[in-house]
Structure 1
């Protein structure tokens, strides 16, 4: 689980392209270098057609927790997921992954510390960021407050739409539709590769 490593992203703005977040990669048998390179799209939220999904840690619900929940629940963050299963989750209410929100909680703490009244006390050396955060976690009564889930049981498309409209209202419905299409494209690519190889694709979740 890589959520704790997201502290380095505290040096950047909390936008939909921020470095702190969830990165999902589609893997399949025979995947070549070109296909891997095609997935190097920065932090694009609309690149599902190349097998990459992105959600920044600036608030749930997280549609990836629904679409590829098995990857979040796996010890190595990888899981074979049939395309038919993912396709059903696009529009049907499904249960989201649980206990995978350390990154979300850490990002919330960073946003509070790095944009609040104490921002002037922030360390200037990136190497001191982790120690700074650990100090504030230790000073709280209950340590880092990590929720079991920040994503209710819903469909992927409804999670995407509600999240986009709540967090990025300036981008409106058009952006929400673009992100929804990215999730559909991800599933369609998985279906094509599954037909070609005769086995489900593997999904890797970096969070």
Structure 2
């Protein structure tokens, strides 16, 4: 039974991650789109590694100060490997394009990745660019849906050189601990017992009133 719950739990995690990736990938005219790759990896000491892959849209370019932000990351403890030219920073509020309004709790950290380097993908042939993988570490196991934003620069057309902002949905770590698969099974059984008790009370109440 424990193995069955574990299998169901793993399947649900893969489905949620896939849905989040699809939502992120379908963001219209995205500047930088981060997508969670796979699931959390237990690295020991009660921490888990989450890896995001970031893509730069074909009609966008990076300049110093371009960035993307993941909102309300639960249990954040540090950064791992980052894409070339990027550094990581955290804040409770901030690093949000002025024309976007993401869901953002003032009590939870946002995680931002900021580019600092030569202008990238501005001149010459334009194409979607893989910006690499970005790792963060968290004490929380599990993901939920939340917002991301990003800002880059238009590399073609009449607005060439202007800033472009994106807001979308992605998977981020949960704000609190989530039940293990076996715990979900115990909770389901518990809910069933509560339901039976409530039915029993209703039945006794009906007998007394009769």
Q: Do they superpose with TM above 0.5?
A: no
- State which structure, 1 or 2, has the greater radius of gyration over its C-alpha atoms: 2
TM-score, with structure 1 as normaliser: 0.25
TM-score, with structure 2 as normaliser: 0.25
If asked which structure has higher relative contact order (CA below 8 Å, sep 6+), I would say 1
The structure in which a higher percent of residues are helix is 1
